[in-house]
Each structure stands twice: as C-alpha cells, then as structure tokens.
Amino acid sequence: MPDWLSREDFALARGRVAGVVHRTPLLPFRTLGRSNGTSPWLKCENLQKTGSFKVRGALNAIATLSRRERARGVITISAGNHAQAVAWAAGRAGARAAVVMPEGAARSKVEAAIGYGAEVQLHGDAAEAFREARRRAGEEGLVFLHPFDAAPVIAGHGSTGLEVGEDIPGEAVIVVPVGGGGQIAGIAGALAATGRLAGRGRVRVFGVEPEGAPGMRRSLDEGRAATLDGVRTIADGLAPPMAGELNYRYVAEFTEDVVLVSDGEILSAMRLLLTRAKLVAEPSGAAAVAALMYGRVPVVAGETVVALVSGGNVDDEMVVRALHEGEPWP
C-alpha cells in the first residue's frame, strides 16, 4: 500500500500556490441539468493562469526544488498545457525551463510556451518526446519534472479539490478529465485526506477519458498502470502514452470509475460551452461536460454535479470545428 499524501501535504501545497494562481470560479450551468434534474456547476480552470489547471502542479513542483536544483534548470515533456505552466512557474523562480513537445503539438501551444520563456524542442510522438526529455535531463544535468506522475504535482492539483470542497460543503459528484492522471489523483486524494469521500457531505469522483486514449480505463481493467500502443483523439491534453503509476493507485483507491467519451461528443460539449455558457474550452477541457451530456456518469435527480473545465487553450480551427460539427444539445 503506498504512502498517501497527507492532509498536511495538500495544505502545504495549497499554501504555496494560493495567491499566485487564481481561485477559479465555480459557475452554475443549469442547461446541463435539464435532461436529468441535477444541479450542475462548472469549475472553470480554463480561466486559470496559463489557461489550464496545469499551473497548480507545476508551481508546487518547482517550489519544492532546492536552490541547487533550480540553478540546474528543469526539463519536461508536454503536448502544450504543462509546457506553458512549467515555463511560467520556472520564470517566476528564475530557473531555466526546457520543454520537449511532440512534433504534432498545436502551434498555438508551442508559441505560448515559447512566449512564457521555455526552450522548446519538437521531437517525435508523445512516447518519443518522453524518452528525449529524460535523455536530455541526464545529459545536460537538468531536473526532469514529470507532467503528472509525481507527488508534488499531485499535491499541487489537490488545491482544486480543496476549493471545490469548500464551495460545495454537501454531497456532490465531481467529474474530472483524465490524461496521465495527475489532476484526478490530486483532487480525489485531497478530498480523501480531508474526509470528504466518506460520511456526511460525501463526494464521489469520476474520471473521463477519450475513447481514443483510454490509458486509465485500461489500467483499471488490467489492475496496473497501462501503456498504450498508440492514441488517436482531438483531446491532446488527455493523450499521454501511459497512465502514471502513482496516479493509477490514487484513481483505483479513491475514485468511483473512469468513463469514456467520443471525439464527436467532446466537440458537442465544446459547442454547448461556447453557445450556452459563453466559455471557451479546449477538447480536453470539455470532456467532463461531454460525459454528463451523454449520460456516461451515473447521477440522479437532485444531485449536485461539478464538471471540471480543465483548460481553454484551443486553436481557432478547433473552435470552428466544434461549432460546425458539434451537435446541438439537448
């Protein structure tokens, strides 16, 4: 049995990020509840600094480095959001930030990472980019910051769960997009550490992945952290080639289930958020809304439901595609 992060671990991480990142709004979204009688809310991490939730984990991870480690500089792998977050957080700490991104990374995310000060290298697919980042870390003496499978990252993301737990003190269902699993591990872990997953005011946590990148779903089915042969989805932020080892253990222990949605359903969720909530979400950020729209998460009338809108860094072309291809709903 792993040593779970404690209540104090999550509190310390929150203290490091509080006042630096935004306490993002929790907004009602009644349209989403009309078909099932639930009371839905949106946790708007698309309005977070650097445009996604990733900054919480990156900031805490860099804050826990020693002065000598910060002087060495850091390197990471990212399809985009973690790259921007690490670049921004490293810049605040006066540290060098190198990022290896897959060659197919969205140009807007590449440019944003460079704009925040990262030294960006485009290299292969996601699996190859992981290997290149680790190679450079050893060769150049850089500190490798894992984008999701690390305790400081998980602890930083726990701040999101603590905020939701304070804003909604009663029973609730929280739906979280899952890539490697750092975000859902942090949210579920923090709520478990504060006693919110049991007893009165109980919270249930569900994950959601794209059908074309079911790393955590496969991990739960196989009973171990799984590596995928390949991924195919428009949700680049939910498409790492593997689930994190530590993240998998958190998900297996503290969440109810991980469900799947199609790319078409994600486009429809993006369209709904744009047209009805007036929020811009990237495909990864719309996945939790898609899972609720299409009944993937078991909820009942009267329940409070929170969909995590995890990011808003999206190309113009994808916004247009969502408006043209996304189905009107309900």
The answer to whether the peptide bond before residue 298 is cis (omega within 30 degrees of 0) is: no
**2 located within any domain:** no
Cα 182–chain centre separation = 7
Instruction: Enter the DSSP assignment of 327.
Output: P
Please determine, for residue 308, whether its predicted confidence score (pLDDT) is greater than 80: yes
Asked if 275 and 144 count as a contact pair (C-beta separation under 8 A), the reply is no
pLDDT at 114 (0 to 100): 95
Alpha-carbon span 314 to 295, nearest angstrom: 25
Instruction: Specify whether 124 is located in the same domain as 211.
Output: no
Instruction: Specify whether 155 is located in the same domain as 34.
Output: yes
Q: Could you report the per-residue pLDDT of 58-115, keeping only the tens digit for each?
A: 999 999 999 999 999 999 999 889 999 999 999 999 999 999 999 998 889 999 999 9
Question: Is 278 annotated in the active site?
Answer: no
Q: Specify the number of domains making up the chain.
A: 2
Last residue within a domain, chosen from 94, 127, 144: 144
Please determine, for residue 322, whether its predicted confidence score (pLDDT) is greater than 90: yes
The arithmetic mean of pLDDT across residues 306-321, rounded, is: 96
Asked if 74 and 145 count as a contact pair (C-beta separation under 8 A), the reply is yes
Instruction: Specify whether 78 is located in the same domain as 91.
Output: yes
Interaxial angle between packed helices 245-254 and 151-167, expressed in degrees from 0 to 180 and rounded to the nearest 10 = 30
Alpha-carbon span 194 to 188, nearest angstrom: 10
Question: Is 54 annotated in the active site?
Answer: yes
Determine the 3-state secondary structure of 174 from DSSP: strand
Which CATH number belongs to the domain containing residue 137 in this structure?
3.40.50.1100
**80 located within any domain:** yes
Q: How crowded is the C-beta side of 29, counted as CA atoms within 13 Å? A: 26
Please give the residue range of the domain that contains residue 315.
7-52+150-325
Last residue within a domain, chosen from 144, 172, 195: 144
Instruction: Specify whether 68 is located in the same domain as 191.
Output: no
Last residue within a domain, chosen from 111, 144, 177: 144
Interaxial angle between packed helices 245-254 and 182-193, expressed in degrees from 0 to 180 and rounded to the nearest 10 = 50
Instruction: Specify whether 193 is located in the same domain as 284.
Output: yes
- Percentage of the chain with pLDDT > 70? 99
Residue 272's closest CA among 253, 256, 299, 292? 292
**31 located within any domain:** yes
Place 2 in a pLDDT band, splitting at 50, 70 and 90: low
The catalytic position among 54, 109, 159, 284 is: 54
Please determine, for residue 26, whether its predicted confidence score (pLDDT) is greater than 90: yes
Helix (H) or strand (E) holding 261: strand 257-261
Alpha-carbon span 84 to 88, nearest angstrom: 6
